[in-house]
Amino acid sequence: MENGRVIDKGQNAISHTEGQGMALLLAVQNNDPETFSQVWSWTQQNLQVRDDKLFAWSWSPQVGINDMNNASDGDLFIAWALSCAYTKWNEPSYLFNAIQISQSIRAKLLRKTNKGTVLLPGAAGFEKPDGLKLNLSYWVFPAIAELSRLDPAPEWEDLRLTGLKLIQEARFGKWQLPPDWLVLEGERIGPTDDDRFGYDAVRIPLYLIWGKQASLPFIKPFQHYWGSYAGKMPPAWINVMTGEMATYNASEGFQSIAAMALAYPDVEKTQLPSFNPSQGYYSSMLSLFTKMALEDLKK
């Protein structure tokens, strides 16, 4: 919208930090300071309303803030975008806000565990009696690299290394895929919820490759899985333990990430599906993020 609000029509026209942060990153990538300013202004005024510098993750036109809890990937996107915007346009307020958000992420969302430093998906609700509930797709490696440069602190390197370790260990079932959500209890990690490789975990290979953290051992399971559908459409999700699959196809955004993973390590040869804006918010953003990652890797 002209006021800078990004609408997720698939979720009752709400706005959330993930969408606002993705739009900020795309504005920087496309050298559009006006759109960046609009999106940041709306985000700051309507979502940065907590006691810390993190963001309430969800806003609806009916009630305003839906949930004061944050979403850590959205916070990472916003801090990353602000830091990049400062570098590109030399606006000091962007630098100031990026550092404040980065410091709040370190203070509020990082936890030391037997596996190393992990990122809580949100400040509240993920430290449970049976362990920490984690989402490996929240390890946005290019953002972590940017914040490590912006806000030098050893926790960022610890977080990076722990993410790589968990991604190596979180391999389950026939295809050795990571699930969308994990439980970490002591030294043990295991799937939770529906045990699915789907809407969240699909982003893991994107962030590994984009953040220059990938190697063939990391990417091989994704290549084996998606490669098994050569000439066919993969399902939207698969249960990593039972092999049960969605009865509907993965979206164009999923297929964009699959194409990039299948081309690895020669990602410059990636053939992306044609972009269709009518595919909906999430699939569109995955398509645009994959395109942005490929552009960054060519620099």
Q: Torsion angle of alpha carbons 100, 103, 109, 113, nearest 10°? A: 170
Q: Is the pLDDT of residue 75 over 80?
A: yes
Provide the pLDDT confidence category of residue 231 given band limits of 50, 70 and 90. Answer: confident
- Structural domains counted in the chain: 1
Q: Which residues contact 135 (CB under 8 A, 6 or more apart)?
A: 73, 121, 180, 181, 182, 200
Domain that holds residue 249: 202-294
Residue 107 confidence (pLDDT): 98
Name beta bridge partners: 183: 133, 190
Residue 106 confidence (pLDDT): 98
Question: In this structure, is residue 221 part of a structural domain?
Answer: yes
Residue 90 confidence (pLDDT): 98
Question: In this structure, is residue 233 part of a structural domain?
Answer: yes
Q: What is the pTM of this model?
A: 0.97
Tell me what percent of the residues of the chain surpass a pLDDT of 90: 95
Positions marked catalytic: 18, 73
Q: Is the pLDDT of residue 193 over 90?
A: no
Question: In this structure, is residue 259 part of a structural domain?
Answer: yes
Task: Find the mean pLDDT for residues 12-33.
Answer: 97
Tens of pLDDT, residues 114-127:
999 999 999 999 99
Question: In this structure, is residue 262 part of a structural domain?
Answer: yes
Residue 73 confidence (pLDDT): 98
Q: Mean pLDDT across the chain, nearest whole number?
A: 96
Question: In this structure, is residue 95 part of a structural domain?
Answer: no
